[in-house]
Amino acid sequence: MRKGCFSWFGHVLPLAERFSLIRAHGFETSSIWFGEEEELFAEGREDDMASLARDAGLGLDYVHARYSGCSEIWTNPDPLHSEIFGRYRRALDYCRRHGIPNAVFHITRSNRRPERLDRGMEFLSCLLREAEDSGVVAAIENTRHNDVLDAVFGNFESPFLGLCYDSSHDGLARGSFGRLLADWGPLLRVTHLSDNRGLADDHLLPFSGTLDWNALRDSMDWGSYSGCLSLEVVPEERGEPGDFLGRCRESLDRLALLFGLD
């Protein structure tokens, strides 16, 4: 089981340094935030980001597309000519060019559930065709509306459609924790593992909050999961980035042991 840490782990450092620190603390994989918040992306040097990861000895599990405005896919009368579609298509093409297997997308952002799903389904149908043509999995991340994911996964069937499972988001959504994995575990392609205390998306280290990790262990057959086990966490307090990444690795090792993956 390869273990990973998202390249943004709460410390403001050059990306090359972040990748180097992630690798130095025993992680095999990382990921890229595909948005202007990354300096190299803003400078039009996004191809350098993949090169930096590999120079550090890391594999890249996924690219995470910027999701601002993603709720518009359900309301825009012409979603295929929207800025968000171009942005998501660009992320898929980046993954294709750099041999990255997954692109992570949000399809809802606000607490308000979409009133109609037809336009969004049209958007996702075309996005899925782009994913199939690129040979890249479009991994849809759970946010607040798990029933919308149920509708999407029930409507499409493709080896290039997957689930990016965010444990903290799941803990804040209505419904039973881990139910998404119980229902859609065979679609799992990416993990965003973190904890919270039940009120906000805290991005705490696993076992630092109130989520029931035993329930998550029992929600699916983890032995059938062939992807990476990856964290998406930030520190609660300022400190040395290396110290935090050491705790990250300890937390992930403990979780892998609980899931029977170590």
**Confidence band for 79, pLDDT divided at 50, 70 and 90:** confident
Average pLDDT value over all residues in the chain: 95
Longest CA span, the chain: 49
How do residues 2-46 score in pLDDT, each as one tens digit? Answer: 999 999 999 999 999 999 999 999 999 999 999 999 999 999 999
Mean pLDDT, residues 45-58 taken together: 98
- Beta strands per DSSP E along the chain: 3-5, 29-34, 59-65, 102-105, 137-141, 161-166, 188-192, 229-231
pLDDT at 109 over 90: no
What is this structure's pTM?
Answer: 0.97
Mean pLDDT, residues 92-102 taken together: 98
CATH number at residue 165: 3.20.20.150
**What is the extent of the structural domain holding 239?**
3-258
Q: Residue 42: count other Cβ atoms within 10 Å of its Cβ.
A: 11
Please report the pLDDT score of residue 207 as a whole number.
Answer: 98
**Confidence band for 213, pLDDT divided at 50, 70 and 90:** very high
Q: Which of 37-41, 165-169, 170-174, 217-221 has the lowest mean pLDDT?
A: 170-174
pLDDT at 175 over 80: no
DSSP 161: E
Give yes or no for a contact between 76 and 119, defined as CB atoms under 8 angstroms apart: yes
pLDDT at 110 over 80: no
Give the count of domains, the chain: 1
Please report the pLDDT score of residue 180 as a whole number.
Answer: 97
